Amino acid sequence: MKFIGEARHHAGMDELLIDARQGWVRLTLNRPAQRNALNTALLKALAEALTALAGDAQCRAALICGAEQNFAAGADIGEIETKSRADGLADPRKSYWAAIRNFPKPLIAAVDGFALGGGFELALMADLIVAGETARFGLPETNLGLIPGAGGAQRLLALAGRARASRMVLTGEIIDAATAAAWGIAAWQADGPALPAAEKLAERLALRAPLALAAAKRALIEGDEGSRAFATERALFEDLLDSADKAEGIAAFRAKRRAEFTGT
């Protein structure tokens, strides 16, 4: 497939590995030293790969996984640390997130290890999450004086309900695979690693009617996301980028100490 070389070139250092299978494609987040944290370059590469796959008739489904026992342990803290509200308003990541969400074909997230912050938000953009036995899910942004910025709170709310979403977002609680399955966040809980089960699911989806799957996905997304709530969440995230609490939260995270928030 022609898109493979292009996506690897843009990712740089093979941070996104693309493996074309019979009727579907596996996309591996490959920054294991950073537990596959989603920096801008990786997010861009993922968005470009999915955009290319959207127009590729040979691809009927896509699967996202992470290298070396983790899905993605959040966004890149180093990029957020110096980002202001003005930077947030002009952030190209917004268009990359939109491209990922606009992928019209079934998207599977195979989650082993950590899926935190932006990593969990990416998993929540998938149509189906398969959770391995080591999977851990969380939106701990309030620990850093921030909130989810890519629609994660809204998507979690739709899947798990207000009480559970509030519990995870407000306290930063991290939950395990069994809890994610019980709460309706994960569609399947695998016995062992997620990837083998997720690959079998991708194979099944690749044999189903492509137009019907695309129509069904669009209808489901419209049912959950047809509101202004996502724009509100993003605007609130951008407002917090200039706060002293955000600076303190990240400084405390780096120093491995308790943050002392002042509400400014």
Tell me the one-letter amino acid at 4.
I
- Annotated catalytic, 202? no
d(C-alpha 62, C-alpha 126), whole Å = 9
Inter-CA distances, 44 with 15, 16, 25, 106, 254, Å? 11, 10, 17, 20, 26
Burial classification of residue 75, based on how many CB atoms lie within 10 Å of its CB (0-12 exposed, 13-18 middle, 19 or more buried): buried
Task: Spot the catalytic one: 15, 48, 141, 238.
Answer: 141
d(C-alpha 65, C-alpha 234), whole Å = 25
Tell me the one-letter amino acid at 24.
W
Q: Is 88 left (phi over 0), alpha (psi -120 to 50) or beta?
A: alpha
Task: Spot the catalytic one: 7, 11, 67, 75.
Answer: 75
Task: Say which residue the tokens 């002042």 belong to.
Answer: 262
Task: Spot the catalytic one: 66, 118, 132, 152.
Answer: 118
Task: Spot the catalytic one: 121, 199, 233, 238.
Answer: 121
- Annotated catalytic, 121? yes
Strand order in the sheet with 114-116: 72-73, 114-116, 136-138, 174-176
List the alpha helices (DSSP H) in the chain.
3-11, 40-54, 77-81, 85-89, 93-101, 118-125, 152-160, 162-171, 177-182, 194-206, 210-225, 229-240, 244-255
Inter-CA distances, 250 with 41, 58, 77, 87, 257, Å? 21, 43, 8, 17, 10
- Annotated catalytic, 55? no
Largest Cα span, the chain: 55
- Annotated catalytic, 75? yes
Just list the catalytic residues: 75, 118, 121, 141
